[in-house]
Amino acid sequence: MIYLDYAATAPVPRSVADAMYEVLAGQYGNPSSQYSLGTEMKKRVEGWRAAVAAAMGCPAERLFFTSCGTEGDNWSLRAAAWQNRHLGRHIVTTAVEHSAVLETCRQLEQEGYEITRLEPDQDGRITAAQVLEAVRPDTAAVSIMLVNNELGTIYPIEEIAWGLPARNPKTLLHTDAVQGFTAFSAKDLGADLVSVSAHKIGGPKGVGAVYVGPRLRNPRPLLAGGGQEGGLRSGTEATAQIAGFAKAAQLRMERLESDRAWLAELRAYAQERLLAIADMVPVGRGTAPHILAVSLAGWPSQNIVNDLGSQGICISAGSACHQGKPSHVVAALKLPKRTAAGVIRLSFGPETTRADVDACAGALRRHHDSRLPML
């Protein structure tokens, strides 16, 4: 199998699975228990918290484990809206966020919030000035992703964080950094809330984390109960998941620079190979090294994905989270119909090889040559 869909999820390295197995098999204590099996586990959870916090560039005491990136996005928006409930009911976001943010905004809209959804240009870009101009005296929160999962566009979070106090010193800034992890430091980004997910970096599914910055005073707990996670997210800690998350984060940090260099090289190589195919055009101007969006203009993307899938080559038609529905991200680019119809995403990880890219490019060329365009 040739896997080119790392933005959907990543394979779990053996050492991550081993770290999880060790906990599942032998270290089954509940961190809240008072005997040594529990107190030892509590210490280990704090060690894993420190490891993930180091990868996120934030203090461990401000990092809280969640069950996934979606949960972190939901919680962040709700926490920011709650803190600023007396300030106003306006939220600024973009039309190209992950549905975890967009759907939470839709819920908030039903509860009386006004949502400004900023539109990108045809290249997928949204500027800091565009975001800052949309901020008003009643803006409770701004939520802008760090890296777009379909286009690889990097949004200027640092610049937004820098300019925000002049527009409204109380507005809180959230960034969904799921696709940017581990290539940033929460401290440098300057956002008040940063959400990430383990399974995009070779950790297990079902665990994520949120950095909650000091401007969040008495944040509203996500789940009420036994008081775990500093009382903010009750529920017995998913110890094996957290152990795997920490191990994956450590592995990524150890190889951060070499992985980034390899991904950038691979992406440039893939771009060159793919754009040599007739009717293949670039989509967006994303610069994240692990995501490449292109379009086989006129060839419906779902057919391409199915054809390649039948040959054991995994790529995606936009985001895996859309389950075959047209992507709101592609729609927001307002591309010509034939281009929009053929958008595919290749995404890479440290294990991806040039041979994987060659196999994919070959299959795409055959797909192009053997079928008439449908549009």
Burial of residue 280 (number of CB atoms within 10 Å: 0-12, 13-18, 19+)? buried
**Binder of ligand PLP out of 178, 222, 305, 313 (CB under 6 A):** 178
Find residue 115's DSSP bridge partners.
Answer: 91
Sequence-ordered list of residues with C-beta below 8 angstroms from that of 47, at least 6 positions apart, any chain = 246
Of the two residues 178 and 216, which places its CB atom closer to ligand PLP in the complex?
Answer: 178
Number of residues that bind ligand PLP (CB under 6 A): 15
**Binder of ligand PLP out of 29, 105, 164, 176 (CB under 6 A):** 176
Q: Is 321 in the site for ligand PLP (CB under 6 A)?
A: yes
Using DSSP's 3-state secondary structure scheme, residue 354 falls into helix
For the bound state, the minimum distance from the C-beta of residue 100 to ligand PLP, rounded and expressed in Å, comes to 5
Q: Name the one residue in this structure whose structure tokens are 């993930």.
A: 52
Active site residue 314: no
For the bound state, the minimum distance from the C-beta of residue 361 to ligand PLP, rounded and expressed in Å, comes to 24
**What gap in Å lies between CA 5 and CA 354, rounded to an integer?**
15
Number of Cβ within a 10 Å radius of residue 257: 9
DSSP structure class, residue 311: T
**Binder of ligand PLP out of 74, 76, 197, 347 (CB under 6 A):** 197
Q: Taking a C-beta distance cutoff of 8 angstroms, is the pair 171, 177 a contact? A: no
C-beta nearest to ligand PLP: residue: 69
**Binder of ligand PLP out of 3, 5, 51, 70 (CB under 6 A):** 70
Interface stretch with ligand PLP, choices 67-75, 167-175, 181-189, 268-276 (CB under 6 A): 67-75
**Binder of ligand PLP out of 44, 49, 90, 98 (CB under 6 A):** 98
Number of Cβ within a 10 Å radius of residue 176: 31
How would DSSP label each residue in 271-285? Answer: HHHHHTSTTEEE-S-
Q: Is 352 in the site for ligand PLP (CB under 6 A)?
A: no
Binding site for ligand PLP (CB under 6 A): 68-70, 73, 98, 100, 145, 149, 176, 178-179, 197, 199, 208, 321
Give catalytic residues, as residue numbers. Answer: 321
